[in-house]
Amino acid sequence: MNVGIDSISLCVPESYYSLADLAEKHGIDPNKYLYGIGQEKMAVPSPDEDIVTLAAGAAKPIVTDEVRDSISTVILATESGVDQSKSAGLFVHGLLGLKPNCRVVEFKQACYGATAALQMATDMVRQRPEQKILIIASDIARYEQDSQGECTQGAGALAMVVSANPRILNLHRARGMHSFDVMDFWRPNNHKAAQVDGQLSIEVYLESMRQAWNEYKADGGHELAELPWLCFHQPFTKMAKKAFTALTESEPEQGQALTGESYEHSLLYGRQIGNTYTASLYIGLLSLLENNPQDLTDQNIGLFSYGSGSVGEFFSASVVPGYREHLRTEEHQQMLADRQALSHEKYSAWFYQSLADHKNQVMPKLSNRPYRLEKVEEFRRVYGVND
């Protein structure tokens, strides 16, 4: 039985901040951000947007009436959650009107959480094929202003329904994991912005990928030459380029056959959005499927997921015939094209407003996405539906 991704949908904030403007503010050559880091824009949430509104906005188009009653489980993966106890997925469950006979949990392991969700969902569907599982990766990547990491911020959510006989991607059984305890990137409970050892994080990412790749092959995975398309976790798109180089160098004979084309289409959305932590790999996958002009039917895609701290996993999937009919390409491309640019003043003001700890606050009406944070009452978050 084939199991995998049956539908997939993206939601990003309506505003972005240009990295050329950030470079000007930092007094450095914009090419460092545009080419050295490989980012053009960072998505910036308004104060009435958060990981819940983005998650619900991503899931809404694929939770159709037909799908709603088959959803047995919602797994929301995030490393920028809104509550230390309550799963953000429960707010989404309410907003989308999902059935009460449903389990809802939140997964956390830095940027890796959605991959744990996807693999566990796949195993659950193999056990009980009548169910569908909704996975949502939703994150707001925040670093201190004027820090090294500021240029790698971003925000967005990606939702996927996992089912038997999926219409987009069949996931393969082979998987290679690599976990070890390292402090390359972390966010203590009393911090809203991430702490990072930037250069160490890059080294650890690449080492994790080499080890996970070896485990994937040992688990009966494909040879590199059998994976014409590749997607890597992309905290910034240059990182995917570094990962491609490291992977092909680790398999010199097969790696020679692969060119940059194998991953370049996976970078197009990320370059316009920035880091979305848990969603980043899957936005890369979506970008490949929606932007590659070639027909990818029956072709294999190799994927590498990385979450600092750290867990890496290499896995693969193959594209289902007719996949294009089930993508929402036009809608996603329009959503990215229609965003508004922010001035530095507005970007900076929203950054600090979003970090505030509200006890009681009515949020200004800024977002026109399907859902917004309306207010906070005695620390309770209250979400609303935009008309």
Q: Which residues bind ligand CAA (CB under 6 A)?
A: 29, 31-32, 35-37, 111, 148-149, 151-152, 185, 196, 198-199, 201-202, 205, 233, 235-236, 238-239, 275, 277, 306, 308
Sign of CA dihedral 241, 245, 248, 253: positive
Q: Closest separation between CB of residue 311 and ligand CAA, Å?
A: 11
CB atoms within 10 A of CB 90: 17
Closest to ligand CAA by CB, 59 or 111: 111
Asked if 82 contacts 52 with a C-beta cutoff of 8 angstroms, the reply is yes
Closest to ligand CAA by CB, 141 or 320: 141
Plot region of 204 (φ>0 → left; ψ -120 to 50 → alpha; else → beta): alpha
Closest to ligand CAA by CB, 207 or 219: 207
Closest to ligand CAA by CB, 199 or 340: 199
* CA-to-CA separations, 273 to 171, 194, 326, 352, in angstroms, rounded: 26, 18, 23, 20
Distance CA 190, CA 378 (A): 20
Q: Closest separation between CB of residue 238 and ligand CAA, Å?
A: 6
Closest to ligand CAA by CB, 73 or 201: 201
Q: Closest separation between CB of residue 193 and ligand CAA, Å?
A: 11
Q: Closest separation between CB of residue 285 and ligand CAA, Å?
A: 16
Q: In the numeric block, which tokens belong to residue 379?
A: 């620390």
Distance CA 28, CA 324 (A): 41
Active site residues: 79, 111, 233
Q: Closest separation between CB of residue 384 and ligand CAA, Å?
A: 31
Q: In the numeric block, which tokens belong to residue 271?
A: 């370059």
Closest to ligand CAA by CB, 27 or 293: 27
Closest to ligand CAA by CB, 201 or 272: 201
Q: Closest separation between CB of residue 28 and ligand CAA, Å?
A: 7
In three-state secondary structure terms, 216 is helix
Distance CA 26, CA 48 (A): 28
For the chain, the maximum distance between any two Cα atoms, rounded to a whole number of angstroms, is: 62
| Location of structure tokens 């996970």 | 212
What's phi and psi for 109, nearest 5 deg?
Answer: -160, 75
Q: Closest separation between CB of residue 185 and ligand CAA, Å?
A: 5
Distance CA 279, CA 285 (A): 10
Query: Nearest Cα to 270, choosing from 177, 168, 139, 107?
Result: 139
- Scored b (16 or more CB within 10 A) or e, 52-73 reads bbbbbbbbbbbbeeebeeebbb
* Closest CB to ligand CAA: residue number: 36
Asked if 316 contacts 221 with a C-beta cutoff of 8 angstroms, the reply is yes
Distance CA 198, CA 137 (A): 23
CB atoms within 10 A of CB 240: 25
| Location of structure tokens 């992309």 | 234
